[in-house]
Amino acid sequence: MLPRPMARARTVHGTSVSPGLAIGPVHVVRAAPDAVPHWSVPEDEVGNEIERLRAAVVAAGDELQRRQRLVASQSGERDAQIFAVHRMILQDPSAVRDVEETIRGERINAESAVQHFIQRLERTFRPLEGNSVRSYSADLSDPWREVLQALMHVVQSADPDDGKVILAAAVLTPQVVTSVARERLLGIVAEAGGRFSHAAVLARAFGVPCVVGLPGLLQRLEQGMTLALDGGRGSVELRPNDEQVSDFHERKSRLDARRANLAEQSALPARTTDGAELRVLVNIESLRDFDIFDVAHTDGIGLCRTEFLYMERPQFPSEDEQFRMYRRVLERMAPRPVTLRTLDIGGDKRLPYFQTPEEANPALGWRGLRVSLEWQDLLRVQIRAALRAGVGRDMRLLLPMVASLEEVLATHKIFDGVRGALLEQGWEVDSDVPVGIMIEVPSVLLCLDELLAHVDFVSVGTNDLVQYLLAVDRDNPWVSKLYEPLHPAVVRALAQIAKAARNAGKPCSVCGDMADDPAVAVMLLGLGYDSVSVAPYFLPEIKYAVRKVSLATARGLADDVLAQSTVEGVKRVLSNIRDALHA
Ligand code: PEP
Ligand code: MG
């Protein structure tokens, strides 16, 4: 029998989208009515149904505009942008025509026709069964759910009082995240929704703890029930008892006090007691991330996931649009370095306007650099924009999902061609933009020396490296227990990479999520990494941890970890340093 993804324990575990602790009453948001009425429509009433549909589309557009204004006033234009995209989706006349055709052809009511349309959208954009894909189809169908609500006169937000709440929903969507005012939002839990959805980006930008991947959760909730949510651990306690509540409050006040204290020290470099420095950079996914960290506290951007900038738009951004986006990032960070990763779509990350194939094994499929090398015009436009934006700035380019030297050589050729064309057209272009590769695919480990000879730096994408090294799909809840970044094979691979990079005289960094853990960051320093790049929330803890140890301690830790042959062993060694850091 297959394992149940979630047992009926009082503590349930899911996927962390956004860290932090929250405790409070739950408000279950029903993003769509439970039952959509269905009836047949006589020929002479078809016109009426179409009128009802059109009126509902207008009403839904108004509601989205209202939300756009609300979010813009509460958290800025960038956060509100998703609602503009949703309004554009609703303005697509071919979609409205499609629903009208269903009403006419099948002689059914408008609600039913809209529901069919939503189902069709979800089928089209659900070539995978993963949570994150479900969240993309949700992004596309959300505006149409709004139409359904308007037709059925459902009031969407409306929680009973105006106190603070933890929102719970079937799917994490931007509507869910913004269904109560930001100052009332304690946290969010959802049965489904990947950490790569727009909604997840919003949750992180709002800085509220958020956990997804909790199948069956809603059945177990009642409006107002108390939840204790640990966003970092991805756990949710249902109806905590008095003792758990007071423990939780205690943990939370300790966490708040600690974070306030660390934030004050974050301007200091991450320098060990004996003077070695680990540069701590941040990963960004949106320009709005600038609201959640202090540029002066970072050593730069180690990973700009450009695909998320693409996702914030209704179609591929033009060269000039990309130029402006990249320039903004580079200018905000100057003189600090900015590492732009070329488009990393496919697998679990999709663009609503770019249909990728249905694949049996998407993680092993058409993704990252493979897409860029096939759709070379996409890559060319991106590199043109980046090279134009990078003039006079410390910009680096990073290639995702590299599996072979041939791919790197082919990419260099494209970059050289783009550079040559720009120069010919009279653009100014820096001649020495460093190009690096993500180390995510195990084949790279076996060809590392040759690859290092052809790149300027490497950055280890442990999120993917772990999945490929251990053959565990990072989005598959059935095997999530086996997804173990602290597997000895991972640690040994990390050591091998650092050693090879050092021998080649090339900088190496880790930009996958495992570097978010301060004990791991210290281990990475000990293994010989120059830098880590982490989500901004984790930067203060990491800098603090590095400042507390000596390089000798970090090296000793790395040696001890490398001597372990089990996950348990690695964890035990790391927990010692963790205790020391918290002492
Ligand atoms: C990684 O794989 O570790 C990484 C940083 O890339 P992403 O999480 O965007 O796949
Ligand atoms: Mg990756």
Nearest atom of ligand 1 to the alpha carbon of 511: 5
Q: What is the pLDDT of residue 302?
A: 98
Q: What is the pLDDT of residue 74?
A: 65
Residue 5 pLDDT > 90, yes or no?
A: no
- Distance (Å) from CA 314 to ligand 1 centroid: 23
248-257, 266-275, 574-583: lowest mean pLDDT where? 574-583
Instruction: Examine the residue annotation and report whether 210 is marked as an active-site residue of this protein.
Output: no
Mean pLDDT of all residues in 510-526: 94
Which class would CATH give 43-152?
Answer: mainly alpha
Ligand 2 midpoint to CA 440 (Å): 6
From the CA of 461, give the closest atom in ligand 1. Answer: 3
Separation CA 68–CA 454 (nearest Å) = 47
Q: What is the pLDDT of residue 55?
A: 85
Nearest ligand (C-alpha, residue 349) = 1
In the reported structure, the alpha carbon of residue 461 is separated from the centroid of ligand 2 by a whole-number distance in angstroms of 5
Give me the mean pLDDT over the 121-131 stretch. 58
Rounded to an integer, the average pLDDT of 377-396 is 98
* Cis peptide bond prior to 518, omega within 30° of 0: no
Average pLDDT, the chain: 87
CA of 348 relative to ligand 2 center, distance in Å? 10
Average pLDDT, integer, range 325-354? 90
* Ligand 1 centroid distance, CA of 303 (Å): 9
- Structure confidence by residue, pLDDT tens digits, 65-74: 887 887 777 6
Q: Is the pLDDT of residue 213 over 90?
A: no
Identify the CA nearest to 395 among candidates 383, 384, 407, 386. Answer: 386
Starting from the CA of residue 401, give the closest ligand. 2
Q: Pairing mode, if any, of strands 235-238 and 226-230? A: antiparallel
Lookup result for tokens 């653009």: 427
Please provide the DSSP assignment of 16-68 as one string.
EEE--EEEEEEEE--SS-SS----B--GGGHHHHHHHHHHHHHHHHHHHHHHH
270 with 280: CB under 8 angstroms? yes
Give the closest residue to 170 by CA, choosing from 142, 206, 147: 142
User: What residues are in contact with ligand 1 under a 6 Å CB criterion?
Assistant: 303, 305, 344, 440, 461-464, 511-512
Lowest mean pLDDT among 1-10, 21-30, 221-230: 1-10
Higher pLDDT, 134 or 170: 170
- Shortest-distance Cα residue to atom 1 of ligand 1: 461
Domain segments of the chain as ranges = 12-28+159-256, 43-152, 276-581
**Which atom from ligand 1 is nearest to the alpha carbon of 344?**
9
Tokens of 424: 């010919």
Distance of CA 23 to the CA centre of its chain: 24
Nearest CA to ligand 1 atom 4: 461
CA distance 305 to 111: 38
pLDDT tens track for 148-172? 877 775 544 444 457 899 999 987 8
Return the pLDDT at 354. 84
pLDDT at 557 over 50: yes
Which of 10, 168, 144 is CA-nearest to residue 64?
A: 144
| Residue whose CA is at the smallest distance from ligand 1 atom 3 | 461
538/282 Cα distance (integer angstroms): 9
Token pair for residue 121? Answer: 């959208």
Token representation of residue 369: 């650099």
Instruction: Say which of 13, 27, 86, 198 is annotated catalytic.
Output: 198
DSSP assignment, residue 196?
Answer: T
Q: Is 232 exposed, middle or buried (0-12, 13-18, 19+ CB in 10 A)?
A: middle
Model confidence, pTM: 0.72
* Ligand number nearest to the C-alpha of 348: 1
| Two domains, one topology: 12-28+159-256 and 43-152 | no
Closest-CA residue, ligand 1 atom 9, reads 305
Q: Which ligand is nearest to the CA of 513?
A: 1
Q: Name the residue type at position 193.
A: G
- 457: left (phi > 0), else alpha (psi -120 to 50), else beta? beta
Report the CATH number of the 276-581 domain. 3.20.20.60
User: Given the CA of residue 283, which atom of ligand 1 is nearest to it?
Assistant: 5
Q: What superfamily in CATH does domain 12-28+159-256 come from?
A: Phosphohistidine domain (3.50.30.10)
How many A from CA of 393 to the centre of ligand 1? Answer: 25
**pLDDT-based confidence at residue 326 (cuts at 50, 70, 90):** very high
Q: Are 53 and 110 in contact (CB under 8 A)?
A: yes
Specify the residue for token string 């772990």: 466
- pLDDT per position as a tens digit, 405-457: 999 999 999 999 999 999 999 999 999 999 999 999 999 999 999 999 999 99
* 297 among known catalytic residues: no
Which residues make Cβ contacts (< 8 Å) with residue 381, sequence separation at least 6?
A: 316, 318, 319, 322
pLDDT at 330 over 70: yes
Residues in CB range of 174: below 8 A, 6 or more apart = 82, 83, 86, 139, 142, 198, 199, 202
Bridging pattern class, strands 11-13 and 235-238: antiparallel
